[in-house]
């Protein structure tokens, strides 16, 4: 304990003042008696000593009392601050132990990118010897490939102005010159009373290599399927031409029926090949955020509506996270309504709220769909046309967790509901109104 914690108690100090004053006055009286002999009056001397000592105690009481009260407050605050400091030190040690033993790299960087701290995992990611540089002597951007630094600097600024950001991928170069891919998530924080960025760094080089290998294999398979599909289509065309030539000759009626069946079979095979061509593009590109009413408008541009009115009541700022081919879904919904809706006059797109997500509704006032066909229309090969449109639509939507079903009543028009999960929905402005 320090000197302040060992100070003399208040009552002992008053007693000490009394005793010192009493001893001093007694000594003074003895000295006066010795220097100026006169008849001794010990009672008077004792009374004088006691009175003077008591007066000294009374005079010293008030400043000593104030001093002791203030000292007690200071000691209490000091003990409280010491306890808080010890708790903070324990928490910092726990935090440092967790950070040092995590598998992801952790970097504490100033808002300009200067590295203030990095853990062992980050040193291993970048092939750095611990203690190789002092805090602030390196910048986090120095480890990135020059082509990625400007983008990373912009993302740093965004992280410094917000609570966090989505994971970002960058090409980096280690201290030994080895190129690696990293995934970084930044969050604003306060470190030693200074605003900083906490960067979580993950080495994704292995994942990137596997992605490239998969893409390379997909390119080969795509090339093979396109060549095969092209050759099969050519042979089907030849077969179809010869069949048509034979049908134009004089044949017995039963033979003509056989060739009609051959022609129907080749047509179905051609439709199947066309479906494989469309399905091949599903999931090739990464899902992106797309404006919802713009998708409907784009899909409608390729369809002749005639006397049918298309009402696009979707919010202007609504966006969905979906495969780039999602426009085909809206094209198929509109095209099917025009082709098979019967006495249809209006096709309407609007939004309906349900739970935490949203439901996109495509409704028309046509003939509707029979109850026993509501699920069968999503099967391949079903329908009045090729039957592949809605089957492909369901596959496209399923990539980002969007579901589709038909909920209309027979004779009341068809109604398709696309349920969008919460993480695949966003708006650029206020929350849109629902019906």
Chain centroid to Cα 430, Å, comes to: 20
Tokens 């008696």 appear where? 33
Query: CA of 159: how far to CAs of 156, 164, 387, in Å?
Result: 5, 5, 48
Q: Do 217 and 224 form a contact (C-beta atoms < 8 A)?
A: no
DSSP state of 180: E
Q: Do 169 and 183 form a contact (C-beta atoms < 8 A)?
A: yes
Q: What is the pTM of this model?
A: 0.49
DSSP state of 214: H
CA pair distance 385, 332, nearest whole angstrom:
12
Residue 76: which of 2, 5, 3, 1 has the closest Cα? Answer: 5
Structure tokens at 60: 């010293």
Domain boundaries, the chain: 4-98, 102-203, 208-280, 288-427
3-state secondary structure of 301: helix
- pLDDT digits over 225-280, tens only? 778 877 888 888 888 888 878 777 776 777 777 777 887 788 778 777 776 776 66
pLDDT at 4: 45
Q: Do 162 and 195 form a contact (C-beta atoms < 8 A)?
A: no
CATH hierarchy code of domain 102-203: 3.30.450.20
Query: CA of 13: how far to CAs of 21, 60, 64, 422, in Å?
Result: 12, 10, 9, 73
Neighbours of 119 (CB within 10 A): 21
pLDDT at 376: 85
3-state secondary structure of 41: coil
pLDDT at 57: 61
- pLDDT digits over 353-379, tens only? 765 668 999 999 888 888 888 888 888
pLDDT at 3: 44
- Cβ partners under 8 Å of residue 42, min gap 6: none
Neighbours of 71 (CB within 10 A): 14
CA pair distance 249, 42, nearest whole angstrom:
162
CA pair distance 42, 51, nearest whole angstrom:
14
The beta strand positions in 32-128, using DSSP E, are: 105-110, 115-118
Phi-psi region of 327 (alpha: psi -120 to 50; beta: other; left: phi over 0): alpha
CA pair distance 132, 116, nearest whole angstrom:
13
Provide the edge-to-edge strand list for the sheet that holds 415-420. 309-312, 346-354, 357-364, 415-420, 403-406
CA pair distance 414, 332, nearest whole angstrom:
13
pLDDT at 434: 47
Q: What is the mean pLDDT of the chain?
A: 79
Low-confidence ranges of the chain (pLDDT < 50): 1-5, 386-387, 430-435
pLDDT at 387: 44
Q: Do 319 and 423 form a contact (C-beta atoms < 8 A)?
A: no
- Portion of the chain with pLDDT greater than 90, in percent: 15
What value does the CA radius of gyration of the chain take, rounded to a whole number of Å? 44
Q: Does domain 288-427 have CATH number 3.30.565.10?
A: yes
What count of residues does the chain have? 435
pLDDT at 187: 84
């Amino acid at each position: 304990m320090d000197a302040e914690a060992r100070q003399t108690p208040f009552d002992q100090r008053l007693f000490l003042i009394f005793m010192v004053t009493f001893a001093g006055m007694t000594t003074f009286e003895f000295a006066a008696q010795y220097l100026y002999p006169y008849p001794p009056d010990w009672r008077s001397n004792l009374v004088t000593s006691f009175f003077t000592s008591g007066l000294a105690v009374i005079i010293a009481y008030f400043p000593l009392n104030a001093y002791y009260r203030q000292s007690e407050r200071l000691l209490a605050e000091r003990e409280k601050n010491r306890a808080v400091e010890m708790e903070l030190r324990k928490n910092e040690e726990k935090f440092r132990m967790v950070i040092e033993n995590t598998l992801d790299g952790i970097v504490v960087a100033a808002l300009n990118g200067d590295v203030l701290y990095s853990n062992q995992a980050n040193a291993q990611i970048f092939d750095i010897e611990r203690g190789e540089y002092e805090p602030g002597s390196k910048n986090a951007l120095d480890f990135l490939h020059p082509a990625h630094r400007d983008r990373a600097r912009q993302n740093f600024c965004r992280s410094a102005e917000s609570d966090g950001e989505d994971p970002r991928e960058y090409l980096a170069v280690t201290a030994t010159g080895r190129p690696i891919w990293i995934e970084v998530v930044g969050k604003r924080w306060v470190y030693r009373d200074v605003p900083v960025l906490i960067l979580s760094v993950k080495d994704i080089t292995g994942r990137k290599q596997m992605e490239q290998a998969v893409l390379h294999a997909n390119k080969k398979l795509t090339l093979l399927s396109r060549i095969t599909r092209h050759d099969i289509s050519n042979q089907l065309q030849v077969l179809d031409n010869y069949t048509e030539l034979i049908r134009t000759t004089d044949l017995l009626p039963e033979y003509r029926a056989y060739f009609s069946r051959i022609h129907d079979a080749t047509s179905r095979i051609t439709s199947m090949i066309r479906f494989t061509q469309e399905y091949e593009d599903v999931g090739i590109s990464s899902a992106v955020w797309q404006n919802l009413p713009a998708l409907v408008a784009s899909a409608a541009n390729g369809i002749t509506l005639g006397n049918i009115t298309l009402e696009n009541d979707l919010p202007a700022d609504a966006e969905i996270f979906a495969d780039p081919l999602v426009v085909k879904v809206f094209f198929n919904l509109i095209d099917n309504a025009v082709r098979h809706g019967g006495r249809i006059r209006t096709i309407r797109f609007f939004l309906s709220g349900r739970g935490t997500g949203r439901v996109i509704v495509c409704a028309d006032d046509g003939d509707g769909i029979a109850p026993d066909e509501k699920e069968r229309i999503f099967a391949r090969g079903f329908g009045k046309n090729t039957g592949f449109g809605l089957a492909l639509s369901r596959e496209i939507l399923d990539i980002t967790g969007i579901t589709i079903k038909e909920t209309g009543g027979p004779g009341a028009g068809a109604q398709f509901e696309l349920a969008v999960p919460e993480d695949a929905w966003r708006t650029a402005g206020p929350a849109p109104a629902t019906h």
